[in-house]
Structure 1
Amino acid sequence: MRELVVSTFVTLDGVMQAPGGPGEDDSGGFTKGGWAVPFWDDAIDAFMDEFMAGPFDLVLGRTTYEIFSSYWPSATEPGAEQLNAATKYVASRGRPALGWQKAVLMEGDVGEYVAGLKQEDGPELQVHGSADLLQTLIPAGLVDRFRVLTFPLVVGPGKRLFGPGTVPAAFRLVSNAATGTGVTLTVYEPAGDPTTGSFPLE
């Protein structure tokens, strides 16, 4: 059995679109690309290095695959070796050319494909970015852990981690820390259906 782990950057209003720079993903008229950059520090680097030490494979949407494949094959910075060595399972509505080494197009129903990957022996499956793909994986109950880096700003409209049609769910806090720039580094695991209650009124 393999675990599927989502690693994502989000704003306080839940947007995960284009954290790394303008033009990274401007679909829907998004104009705030690069919102994560001013808050980046050594604590975030250390958090990222910890879970990207490998081994792992990647499950990616087409847009995130194209962003990664345009940079990482020739990169030499920390993380490049692990990303290049990983098998990349790519979801796409079309049939894009997958030139990055060890890239595989997921055929058929993506949810069923990923469920099958989880049944295999192998390293952890990591999802980075891939906002559209997550709207399939999350409602299907396929995510075993969320690593969420929450940045202290709001940007308004944009692709969200939990988009329309999200199935209600509870989560268990595994770990939590904060950086000097105000970014929270949080790990959650699914904890079944949410429960409700009421406060007693005098």
Structure 2
Amino acid sequence: MRKIIVGAFTSLDGVMQAPGGPDEDPIGGFKFGGWAAPMFDEKMGAFIGELFAKPFDLLLGRKTYDIFAAHWPYVDKDDPIGPLFDRIDKYVATRNPDFKPTWQNSHVLGPDTIAAVRKLKDGDGPDLLTQGSTEFLKALFENDLVDEIHVSVFPVILGKGKRLFGDASFPRALTLIDSCTSDTGIVMSRYARAGDVASGSFEFETPTDAELERRRNLT
């Protein structure tokens, strides 16, 4: 069985839209494209390098696929990521039944995206790594298909924009695998799934009259 690993850059308030440049994704009037670039440093590069060091295939939403296909095949060949992304398999989630990818080793997941992802996950091969793909990620989280989350939280608040998690995400406990901080304040963490959400209580064993009244007022 293959793992699905989410790789994401987010702001402190969870926005992950257009980290790489001003023209990357201005949808919805987003004005802060390229917000991640000024803080990217050597430690952040090492964190990404570790993510890409093990064998993987890419699992991408259509918009992120188009961004990658317009960039990575054209980078200088001294950049190791371009040839790596060219070589590996890339699986694309799209609502357009007529979409025909032209980037080599690209495959359309088909009309039932979640069924196709489940089949990939249950099969043989390297882990499946997402990048960007906010709309596609919502479906993966809602269907409890994510095994690990590698998230880099940048010290910036962006307000509006596409976010990593939606309201319909499947409730799930996580365990922290490791975490480190870059010199520019980026907190880079890796989480793995850890079963159901546990709950406890800080309340008094016997509620006070004031607490009972508070609860009655909630209804």
**TM bracket (short chain):** over 0.9
- Partners of 1:169 and 1:124 lie apart in 2 by 20
Query: SS in structure 2 opposite 1:45?
Result: helix
Tell me if structure 2 keeps the 8 A contact 1:53–1:82.
no
Cα distance between partner residues in 2 of 1:18 and 1:60 = 15
Q: Which runs of 5+ in 1 are unaligned?
A: none
Structure of greater Rg: 2
Choose between structure 1 and 2: higher helix proportion: 2
Shift of 1:19: 0.5
1:86 counterpart letter in structure 2? I
The answer to whether the 8 A contact 2:144-2:170 is kept is: no
- How far apart are 1:200 and its partner, in Å? 4.5
Contact 2:155–2:186 (Cα < 8 Å) also in 1: yes
Q: Is the 8 A contact 1:55 1:82 kept in 2?
A: no
Shift of 1:27: 1.3
Give the whole-Å Cα distance in 2 for the aligned partners of 1:115 and 1:37. 34
What amino acid is the match of 2:150?
Answer: R
C-alpha separation between the residues in 1 aligned to 2:178 and 2:138?
A: 24
Question: Could you tell me how far apart the structure 2 residues matched to 1:102 and 1:152 are?
Answer: 36
- Between the aligned residues of both structures, percent identity stands at 44
Counterpart of 1:168 in structure 2 is 171
Counting only pairs closer than 5 Å after superposition, residues 1-150 of structure 1 correspond to structure 2 as 1-75=1-75, 76=77, 77-94=79-96, 95-150=98-153
Q: Deviations over 1:2-28 (max 9, x none)?
A: 111010000100011110111211112
* 2:94 maps to amino acid: S
Secondary structure class of the residue paired with 1:138: helix
What are the superposed Cα offsets for residues 64-94 of structure 1, whole Å, 9 maximum, x if unpaired? 0000001111222122222111111001111
Tell me which residue corresponds to 2:211.
Answer: none
Question: What RMSD, in angstroms, separates the aligned Cα atoms of the two structures?
Answer: 1.3
Is the CA contact (8 Å cut-off) linking 1:15 and 1:160 kept in structure 2? yes
Deviations 1:29-50 (A, max 9, x none): 2111111011100001111111
Q: Partner letter of residue 3 of structure 2?
A: E
Q: Structure 1 length normalisation: TM-score?
A: 0.96
Task: Judge which range, 135-144 or 46-55, deviates more.
Answer: 46-55
Provide the C-alpha distance between the structure 1 equivalents of 2:21 and 2:82, rounded to a whole number of angstroms.
19
Q: Contact 1:53–1:79 (CA<8 Å) still a contact in 2?
A: no
- For structure 2, the residue ranges without an aligned partner over 5 or more in a row are 206-219
TM-score (norm 2): 0.88
* SS of 2:49 mapped into structure 1: helix
3-state SS, counterpart of residue 32 of structure 1:
coil
- Mapped to 1, the partners of 2:178 and 2:200 lie a distance apart of 25
Q: CA deviation at 1:186?
A: 0.2
From the superposition, tell whether residues 167 and 55 of structure 1 become closer, same or farther in structure 2 (CA, over 3 Å): closer
